[in-house]
Every structure is written in structure tokens, then in C-alpha cells.
Structure 1
């Protein structure tokens, strides 16, 4: 069967975008399911920078030490003396819960050490310091 000249000129060649759209959709779904969303504290601190910083764990006890040396445990203000008993209560429920300490870079090193000691006395074994990544 011979095609007429008109019909031969009407055949169009193109790339079907459907597989590309499918792959983009599947890739988006994959990244949405495998990424973690971390809620950080709303207390403003100026974190020190580090090249080797890791991301914060998903479920954790967050301790924030502000520039004016106020201490917050999960966004609630606490006294230094109250850190150990509160940590003990939480650790009894889940001993593997990590403690993340966010300390302003201008705080005294001694205060940071005291907070870390109180966290250890409270029974926490996984203690991390949160820092900003150097870019």
C-alpha cells in the first residue's frame, strides 16, 4: 500500500513526556517519604559553626542555653538544678532518647559543662551538641 504525499508529510515525530513525568513524580514521592522533618526550638541562639556537623535526631530532648545563660528544656525555662530530675523522668520512659544541647556560641564553657554533667547524672547516654554547618 502506497502512502500519498499528503499523508506522508503529516506524520509527526516527538518524544512522549509521560514516562518523564512519571519518573519525576516517583522521585518526588521517594524524597518526601525518606526525608525527615525536624522541629527546632523557636528560641533564638547563635550556634557555633562546624564542618562535620550532623543532622539532629528525630525524637530528642532539646536543651537550649541562651546568650544570657537562661536554660530551656524542650522550650520550657528551667533552672540548672532542675535539669537532672526532669531528664530522669524522661529517661525512665525511654532510655535511648538522645539529648541535644543547643548552646549559644557566646556562653561560658563552664555553664555548658555543668549542663552536660546534669544531663549525665539524669541518666542520658546519648548527648549531642547542635552546631551550624560551615558552608
Structure 2
């Protein structure tokens, strides 16, 4: 049984009155790079995995989720602090992302989105050549720079 606390009810009433945004709420998230991909983790407790919707439109990643609360008929609530809500988060991915291979997984209330880096954006080594590696072209034939030119 819950004990009656008039101040908690007053706080909840004031929060409902002053919280004018009744639209989608933001989900807390972390974003980090791990080697050749970025990892986005977002807290979505109590979300049905079937309600999670992830879209990629160009370079815009959109995550939507819906929390619905169900109760049987004739239920008498003692206290109800969780509410049904929709969640929305949009991120601009920028350049250098392989948008075709983004994947997601939902485990224990945490959504993990794997965002791979495109091959063009991955670090790579550049070969360095020296002047000795080039050939010099003379009037008759080509010769390496370390060989003497033919004498006529």
C-alpha cells in the first residue's frame, strides 16, 4: 500500500501544469566511435521493440518509439507515475557514413544502433615515392635516372 503524501501529489500536478510539451520526448543517449563504426545507445525502458522505428533519409537518422501502458478493466490505481509517451530523436549523420549498413539491436531497455564509417572516410596510408622511382625520357628511349644516358 502506498502512503498518502500531499506534497508528492502537488509536485506531480505542478509538473503536469508547467510541462507544456505533450509531444514526443527526447530519449537520453550516448554516442561514441569504436574503430570503424559509431555506436549510439539510447535508454528506452518499457518500450515494446515492435514500436521502435528507425529511418535514414539522406544523412538524417530518425529514431521513434512508443510506450503504451495497458491495464485490465476494473483496475483501481493506487499510484500511477509512469505515463504513455512517444519518443523522438533525430541526428544529422554528416559525411563519411555508410548509411546502407546501419543496424540496430534492442536489449533490456537499451537501443544500440551501429553506424559504420564508409570506406572512403576510413584512415589509410599513402605511398611515398622518390625521384629515383621515376623514369627519365630521352630522345631515343627511356632510362632510369640512376643509369647514364647513352652516348652518341
TM-score calculated relative to the size of structure 1: 0.20
Decide which structure has greater strand share. Answer: 2
Larger radius of gyration: 2
Higher relative contact order (CA 8 A, sep 6+): 1
Decide which structure has greater helix share. Answer: 1
TM-score calculated relative to the size of structure 2: 0.19
